[in-house]
Amino acid sequence: MNILDGKTVSENIKKEIALDVEQLKKSGKKIPHLAAILIGHDGGSESYISYKVKDCAEVGFNSTLLRFEENITEDFLLHEIQNLNNNDDIDGFIVQLPLPKQFDEQKIINAIVPSKDVDGFHPVNTGRMVLGLPCFVSATPLGIIELLKHYRINTQGKNVVILGRSNIVGRPLSILLSQKHEYGNATVTMVHSYSSHIKELCLRAEIIIAAMGQPEFLKEDMVSEGAVVIDVGTTRVASTATKSGFKLTGDVKFDEVSPKCSWITPVPGGVGPMTRVGLLKNTWLAYKKEIY
């Protein structure tokens, strides 16, 4: 069993970006600038945003965080998004999800101009991704592809099962892995809560990507010997063993599954850091205006 170490890979990518940014500073050029909107005080969102701000500082990006309480109106939020759309100093920005229930999430995503949509959620970026055109790929699928590249995990002709069909992870990843490129060309099965015979499908898979948000869903008897397992799950569960009173738990029962795997990601330290570095890579692309 080998570990797909997202933390180490992401640190290496951040060092490469930091070197490029240092050259910009030396030549007196504009520095890439990432902005984020955070509404409310969701614990997971607070943690994720704090990491994003830290990541920007590490690579030398400028960052701006706009914080608002849950009682703001949708019109107010749309106005703030328009301000960021029109701000030439901001290269890319995100609206941290999930949003409070009173907001129409898709309407908010649609309001972000595609050229600054570094989360890759806008329908224009999604459509371009489906067609194989240059676009901002959502950060988690992008990070997973980068991880596969780093460890030279062959996907061509492989039987891949993706657990979960979200628009953020499962659905875009299924498209990327089936497309005609070096880390694609896979035969992809995407399963969900209505799928039958999930265990049998997983047992036939050479690569399993678990992104259902159900702690320890994938167990030892669902995985074949030598499979590659990528765990996207990060659910907070109560724990008496930590000071915070909770721990992050993946969608894979790691202690059971890992002995059977050729490669597996840990939680934390696997996909999470790669998601964050995916956002940095998209911001760098937005800065260079290589897509739009």
Q: Are residues 260 and 168 in the same domain?
A: yes
Q: Are residues 106 and 153 in the same domain?
A: no
Predicted pLDDT at 35: 98
- The boundaries of the domain holding residue 172 are 139-269
pLDDT (tens digit per residue) in 201-244: 999 999 999 999 999 999 999 999 999 999 999 887 766 667 76
Cα–Cα–Cα angle for 60, 63, 79, rounded to 5 degrees: 155
In a domain, 288, yes or no: no
pTM of the model: 0.93
Q: Are residues 107 and 178 in the same domain?
A: no
Q: Which of 83, 183, 202 is CA-nearest to residue 137?
A: 183
Q: Are residues 252 and 149 in the same domain?
A: yes
Q: Are residues 176 and 80 in the same domain?
A: no
Q: Are residues 156 and 204 in the same domain?
A: yes
Predicted pLDDT at 43: 81
Q: How many domains does the chain have?
A: 2
Q: Are residues 109 and 36 in the same domain?
A: yes
Q: Are residues 143 and 256 in the same domain?
A: yes
Residues in the chain predicted with pLDDT less than 50, given as ranges, are none
C-alpha dihedral sign at 203, 206, 211, 214: positive
CATH code of the domain containing 233: 3.40.50.720
CA distances from 258 to 14, 135, 182, 220 (A): 28, 35, 26, 8
Q: Are residues 87 and 159 in the same domain?
A: no
CA distances from 118 to 32, 56, 87, 286, 292 (A): 12, 14, 15, 7, 12
Predicted pLDDT at 247: 77
Q: Are residues 185 and 227 in the same domain?
A: yes
Known catalytic residues?
52, 96, 119
Contact partners, residue 3, CB within 8 Å, separation at least 6? 263, 264, 265, 266
Predicted pLDDT at 47: 86
DSSP of 68-96, one letter per residue? E-TT--HHHHHHHHHHHHH-TT--EEEE-
Q: Which of 178, 228, 173 is CA-nearest to residue 205?
A: 228
DSSP 252: B
Predicted pLDDT at 182: 93
Name the helix (H) or strand (E) containing 149. Answer: helix 139-150
Q: Are residues 103 and 180 in the same domain?
A: no
